[in-house]
A and B are shown apart, each in its own frame.
Chain A
Amino acid sequence: MTLLFDGIAYGMLLFILAVGLAVTLGLMNFINLAHGAFAMAGGYITVLLMNRLGVPFLACLPIAFIGTALLGALLERTLYRPMYSRPHLDQVLFSIGLVFMAVTAVDYVVGSMQQNIHLPDWLQGRLPIEAVGIGKYRLFIVVTCALLTIALQWVLSRTRFGSRLRASVDDPRVAGGLGLDVNRIFLLTFAVGSGLAGLGGALGAEVLGLDPTFPLKFMIYFLIVVSVGGTTTITGPLLAALLLGIADVAGKYYVPKLGAFIVYTLMIAILVWRPQGLFARASAR
């Protein structure tokens, strides 16, 4: 049970980290390998604020979100936008370049050691519920991420912005022809997606560990979530992230010898079986 719960917490975290990537990939068909760099930025903002300036943990989370979102918006406007119409090879090279730069820059500024986060006291320890130990912090993550997911789902399905976004996802050209400013919608979405990644990075700094190689280490996990879940819905990546989280935690617990082997094999099997992702609608394109 504890394992299952840890897996769910891990999966929720991965979902928050990767949901921005799902939108980037789905909306503009842009392969952004540098998504993890935003998550790392959020993590480092939190760590530095807490350890150097003594800002409380809860106050750091929104700052991490906003800071990363601004960074994402800036980069989208300046660097990413010319890349949308390029071939996939260019996008891959471009974002790998960004990852390398981010990794080394953080290494240079902060140093290459693992960063520790000091959680406030009320988040440490375990809650013994029916003989099942549940880490308070894990519970906090699950609750936060669940709330965020519900909010996201609400925004996407109930608000005007959500319907505009969905229209742009389905067909950017027609959406533009109907008078929607697809560029601005995308700028906003990219910023929010990066912000969520930053928030995920801040939340996950304690669970996933935070050092300069973070974007490279977790790049494949984000990509798995998105490619297995499909990019057309929000529930697809959510289920994929939960599946991945549980499989990874359970796999590492029961067969530590195999390590991440199971996850990769599972991913390849799923992708060969259903190239568009597990939960994708039949694509028109």
Chain B
Amino acid sequence: MSDTPVAGASPLPSPASAPAGPTTAAPAAAASSPAARSLRGYSRWRWWELALFAALPLSWLLLPGQALLLNEIAIVALFAISLDLILGYAGIVSLGHAAFFGFGAYTAALFAKNVMPDPIVGLAVAIAASAALGLATSVLILRGSDLTRLMVTLGVASILYELANKLDWLTGGADGLQGVVMGPLTVPFTTLKGFDFDLSGRTAYAYTLVVLAIVLFVSRRLVHSPFGTSLQALRDNRLRAASIGLSVPLRLVAVYTYAGAIAGAAGALLAQTTGFASLDVFDFHRSAEVLLVLVVGGTGYLYGGIFGAIVFKLLHDLIAAWTPQYWNFWLGLFLVVLVLVGRERFVRPWTWFRVPGKR
């Protein structure tokens, strides 16, 4: 604290422990000033983030029998992370995020069936295709109010649903795309090869985990970069963000494309690890579910998708085992209660009995 430069002759001896106030200038030694440190602290790795990254491989080692369920959870988590980027960071309410998920799934399945069965090439193709779709549809969400965006995203997903339904010579229509056989997994740049997608799902889960970890890492860098900060600025006040010189449309296009690519990756993983793609991937239910998953986990801090996916899948298994047909009722009830209690308060049970408004 001794090197904190205090500009000018301040009459009051400022205590050394005081953080950098608005009047404290930090000209040259900015790198070590409290202000710079607090700014950097924003993007610092927290202990629980590291624990989470460590937990990913541990779950593979310690729960070999649950690999299929874990694989599903990881895919839903990936999907929800993608939605978090546009909803939690850029503030776009989308009711049709399944469009990208389904597009990625169908691309991967068709590629494996008609071109080549290598999973990693298929994944790359699916990601590229979904990114292209994201880029193409991002111009549609730039204008209008929340309602307009809601309608347009919903419309895009519905169009793709109709396409997949009607182009039955290509997609198998309502029966789904069957007979997708994936080749064995080959780790690039190494001699490791020949991991088959077997029934236990361990290969599939490892594959999904690696993709999830890479996406998490890249997305984390992205949201903590100046780009990510500017996204939050335009989420909070679009007009002000534009008036300090941020190009709002360009940023929205970029994040929408990136989120589309990730959602496509999630869909591709689903299609590749289950060897199946059906109309269900474009369904409205899927868009609504991923919203719920994200909201349960919490928006705007990137990891909400993972926690939400874990809670959601476990809950789903629990209730579906009890009453399989009417699971949607409890899902709906859960949504209504969640919103009535308040999304913020729901994850903090100790605030339930406080009078709202008092903090």
Which of A's residues lie within 8 Å of B, judged by CB?
Answer: 25, 31, 79, 82-83, 86, 88-90, 92-94, 96-105, 107-108, 216, 220, 223-224, 227, 257-261, 264-265, 267-268, 271-272, 275-276
Contacts and interface: CB of A to CB of B under 8 A. Distances in A.
Contacts of B332: 96-104
B326 A268 contact: no
Chain B contact-residue range equals 35 or more
B151 A267 contact: yes
B158 A264 contact: yes
Contacts of B37: none
B156 interface: yes
Interface in B142-174: 143-148, 150-152, 154-156, 158-159, 162-163, 165-166
B295 interface: yes
A81 to B, nearest CB: 11
B87 interface: yes
Interface residues of B: mostly helix, strand, loop or mixed?
helix
Contacts of A216: 284
Interface of B: 87, 93, 95, 139-140, 143-148, 150-152, 154-156, 158-159, 162-163, 165-166, 284, 288, 291-292, 295, 325-326, 328-329, 331-336, 338-340, 343
A140 to B, nearest CB: 31
A79 B144 CA distance: 28
Q: 4 tightest CB-CB pairs across the interface, nearest first? A: A97-B335, A275-B144, A100-B332, A101-B332
Nearest to A227: B151
B155 A268 contact: yes
Contacts of B162: 258-261, 264
A93 B340 contact: no
Given A88-B93, A259-B162, A93 B148 contact: no
20 contacts: A83-B339, A88-B150, A93-B292, A93-B295, A97-B333, A100-B332, A100-B335, A102-B332, A104-B332, A107-B325, A107-B326, A220-B155, A227-B148, A261-B162, A264-B159, A267-B155, A268-B140, A268-B156, A272-B139, A275-B143
Given A100-B332, A107-B326, A93 B339 contact: yes
A100 B331 contact: yes
Contacts of A92: 93, 95, 150, 291
Contacts of A259: 162, 165-166
A258 B329 contact: no
A102 B333 CA distance: 10
Given A267-B151, A275-B144, 8 more contacts: A88-B146, A94-B340, A97-B334, A97-B338, A101-B333, A108-B326, A260-B162, A261-B166
A79 B340 contact: yes
B144 to A, nearest CB: 3
Contacts of A89: 87, 93, 291, 295
A222 B87 CA distance: 24
A194 B295 CA distance: 29
A79 B334 CA distance: 14
B334 to A, nearest CB: 7
Contacts of A94: 335-336, 339-340
Contact of B144 (A96, A267, A276): A276
A223 B95 CA distance: 12
B328 A260 contact: no
A97 B339 contact: yes
A259 B160 CA distance: 12
Contacts of B335: 93-94, 96-97, 100
A88 B147 CA distance: 9
Contacts of A25: 147
A30 to B, nearest CB: 10
A279 to B, nearest CB: 15
B154 A220 contact: yes
A275 B142 CA distance: 10
Contacts of B144: 271, 275-276
B271 to A, nearest CB: 23
A269 B54 CA distance: 47
B173 to A, nearest CB: 12
Nearest to A103: B328
Given A97-B336, A271-B144, A264 B166 contact: no
B166 A258 contact: yes
Contacts of A261: 159, 162-163, 166
Contacts of A104: 326, 328-329, 332
A41 B291 CA distance: 26
B297 to A, nearest CB: 13
B150 to A, nearest CB: 7
B93 A265 contact: no
B211 to A, nearest CB: 28
A98 B146 contact: no
Contacts of B295: 89, 93
Nearest to A89: B93
Contacts of A107: 325-326
Contacts of A82: 340
Nearest to A217: B284
